[in-house]
Amino acid sequence: MPTPPPTGPLVTRDTLASDLRTLGVEPGEILLEHSSLSALGWVCGGAVAAVQGLLDALGPDGTLVVPTQSGDLSDPSHWGNPPVPRAWWDTIRATMPAYDPLVTPSRGVGVIPETVRTWPGALRSAHPQTSFAALGPRAAEVTEGHAPDCRLGERSPLARLEALGARVLLLGAGYDTCTSFHLAEYRIPAPRVGSGRPGPEGWEVVSEVSIDADRFDELGHDFERDRPVVRAKVGAADARLFPVADAVAYAERWLPLHRSRAEEV
């Protein structure tokens, strides 16, 4: 049976940049982008053209930031998608390669972040599970100093982005992907958990604040209802644009009321 033709719309580097400017992306700003390439339509040039369009909209003075998480560098006893046999756990812990920002691929965040990660001149932060990659003149300022025991808190790029006045772009992605909400989790009572991962000296366990995206879709719905969020189509994708600081501040108030975890501490 022949493969049906794509339904479109046809998206190019230039149309993507134009749609982003119409949405409100400004030259020279810092943009934290969460994305779904497939949501855009049929993109001529795929993820490469998408990154080019984003950089065109930001201009030479803008900085593009993406999550480049590698959650598979974690304890196999916690894996569930898919799980692995218990008999494998010790071997996995003993042989899993340690995080290397230059070669460790991202996982579960889409092809656009992985393309940014490998882009010439990209910088990547140091956390082995929740790194960010950045392109542009403020990339180093965003990515430096990501503490190994602070996934998405005060010593992560998220706090730096908040302080720098960055904005979030959800490009065909939902609020469940909005990492900025996690920064709020570090500012309200939350349990700490042991996080296992491969390190330069072998398997290590680090104490981290527990983070959980549960109900982020509901949080995003209320945030969009109560706060100014710019919305428009970019290609075929629903796009949203808002300040990191607004998202964090709203989540700090919303989470204790709707998803309190204080009793877990």
Per DSSP, 34 falls in state E
Q: Which amino acid is it at 158?
A: L
Helix (H) or strand (E) holding 135: strand 132-135
User: Mind listing the pLDDT tens digit for each residue in 3-37?
Assistant: 777 777 999 999 999 999 999 999 999 999 999 99
User: Mind listing the pLDDT tens digit for each residue in 158-179?
Assistant: 999 999 999 999 999 999 999 9
248 phi and psi angles, rounded to 5 deg: -65, -45
Could you tell me which residue, 233 or 6, shows the higher pLDDT?
A: 233
pTM of the model: 0.94
Q: Which amino acid is it at 136?
A: G
In the structure, what pLDDT confidence band is assigned to residue 194 with cuts at 50, 70 and 90?
confident
